[in-house]
Amino acid sequence: SASGFGGNASVGVTGGTSTMGFLTVQASGIGGGGSPASGVEVPGEFAALAGNGTGGSAVASIGGGSFAPASLELDATGTGGTGTDHVSGGTATDGGSGTGGTAQLISTSGGTGQLTSSNVLILAGGAGGAGGTSSGGSNGNGGDGAGGAASTNLADGAFTLGPVILGADGDGGNGV
């Protein structure tokens, strides 16, 4: 299976007034899950490998103006794909690795911007995929999970914020 790589997603506010319901800036990477090559398991066929997932860069930058999303989410998570099962007794595969990227909320130095949001979520976690199972062979291990970087740099401006949650967890996938 293929790996998934998050790209770069960003929002920059330098002037004007922006009011909206929900804003998600997402650059997540999700690995493909393993499946039998033919779509149906064939005895003696090798199980497909799970893909890895690597988060990219999700950034919101405020320099001027007024920016008021009811909820703001910056998401640069990486999620590994699920390992392939092998029910006819062959070897199942391991889950893919998940590696978090970079999620940042920035207000520029000397900026006059105003940010108002009742909920801010900044995520750069990595989650490994679950290992596959086998009825009579070897089960797969869970994939590794490595957190990335979730940060804020609020230099200047005005802020009215509800709960702010930053997460850069690394969670390994379940093995069987």
What's residue 33's pLDDT? 87
pLDDT in tens, 1-13: 889 999 999 999 9
Question: How much is the average pLDDT of 145-168?
Answer: 95
User: What pairs with residue 117 in β-bridges?
Assistant: 161
Contact 106, 61 (CB under 8 A): yes
**pLDDT at residue 87 tops 80:** no
pLDDT mean over 113-117: 95
Residue 139 has pLDDT above 60, yes or no: yes
- Average of per-residue pLDDT across 93-97: 94
Give the pLDDT mean for 136-159. 93
> Which range among 17-21, 81-85, 91-95, 100-104 has the greatest average pLDDT?
100-104
Give CA–CA dist 123/20, Å, rounded. Answer: 21
Q: Percentage of the chain surpassing pLDDT 70?
A: 93
Q: What is the distance between the alpha carbons of residues 49 and 2, in angstroms, rounded to a whole number?
A: 9
pLDDT in the model for residue 37: 52
Please count the helices (runs of H) and the strands (runs of E) in the chain.
Answer: 0, 18
Contact (Cβ atoms closer than 8 angstroms) between residue 74 and residue 27: no
Task: Read off the pLDDT of residues 14-69 as tens digits, 9 standing for 90 and up.
Answer: 999 999 999 999 999 999 987 655 556 666 667 788 999 999 999 999 999 999 99
77: nearest Cα among 11, 129, 34: 129
113: pLDDT strictly greater than 80 = yes
Q: Which of 58, 56, 146, 166 is nearest to 101 (CA)?
A: 56
Average pLDDT over residues 149-163: 94
Can you give the pLDDT at residue 12?
Answer: 94
Q: How far is CA 77 from the centre of its chain?
A: 1
